């Protein structure tokens, strides 16, 4: 049975907490903290989301939670334009605006220089390709799914093929060729 708890209590597996996402991990997961400062990673969470999170894993210094429902969405949240997201694992930020993604990446570079080299550099805005279909290489995997030969990409950290015929990050020609 799920145990609703206040976010200042000790976090246990199967708890459900209402948390606010305040940052991202480098692979696009949201980062939230309980009132006591305990870190909870929320896949597909957007900075500013207030969401009900079901805790699926608890470690000594952090927990991982699955978002159950969004109480209040982030102003940066956008409709996902890829049916394979987040299963395919080929992109991390389809759930937030492109501008928000670029700002996060710029700040991540700045923080990395500060943390690793002690250099507080001010970086310029991230240069873009001018469109989101910027990738110039695709490695499609093939598998038999439901008795049919299917093309797609590997799910993150696995060899399970996730069907995807037209990735929004690839030029449209890739889907036609496939």
Instruction: Give 109-126 as a DSSP string.
Output: HHHHHHHHH---PPPPPP
DSSP, collapsed to helix, strand or coil, labels residue 101 as helix
Tokens 């002690």 -> residue: 118
Residues in the chain: 178
Q: How do residues 5-42 score in pLDDT, each as one tens digit?
A: 555 568 999 999 999 999 999 888 999 999 999 999 99
Q: Are 167 and 90 in contact (CB under 8 A)?
A: yes
Q: What angle do CA 90, 92, 94 make, to 5 degrees?
A: 100
pTM value is 0.82
Section 159-164 average pLDDT = 92
8 A C-beta contact, residue 167 and residue 175: yes
How high is the pLDDT of residue 86?
A: 86
Asked if residue 1 has pLDDT above 50, the reply is no
Per-residue pLDDT tens digits for 105-151:
898 889 899 999 999 888 788 888 877 788 889 999 999 999 999 99
Distance (Å, whole) CA 69 – CA 49 = 10
Q: Which of 36-40, 88-92, 166-170 has the lowest mean pLDDT?
A: 88-92
Please list the residues that pair with 69 across neighbouring strands. 52
Residues 6+ apart with CB under 8 A from 93: 24, 28, 100, 101, 104
């Amino acid at each position: 049975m799920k145990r609703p708890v206040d976010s200042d209590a000790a976090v246990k597996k199967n708890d459900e907490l209402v948390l606010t996402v305040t940052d991202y991990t480098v692979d696009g997961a949201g980062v939230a903290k309980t009132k006591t400062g305990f870190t909870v990673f929320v896949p597909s969470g957007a900075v500013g989301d207030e969401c009900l999170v079901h805790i699926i894993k608890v470690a000594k210094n952090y927990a991982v939670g699955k978002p159950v429902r969004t109480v209040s969405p982030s102003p940066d949240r956008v409709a996902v334009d890829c049916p394979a997201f987040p299963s395919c694992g080929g992109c991390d930020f389809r759930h937030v605006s492109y501008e928000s993604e670029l700002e996060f990446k710029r700040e991540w570079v700045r923080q990395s220089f500060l943390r690793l080299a002690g250099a507080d550099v001010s970086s310029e805005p991230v240069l873009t390709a001018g469109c989101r279909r910027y990738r110039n290489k695709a490695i499609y995997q093939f598998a038999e799914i439901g008795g049919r030969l299917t093309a797609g990409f590997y799910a993150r950290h696995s060899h399970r093929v996730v069907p995807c015929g037209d990735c929004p990050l690839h030029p449209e020609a890739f889907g036609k060729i496939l």
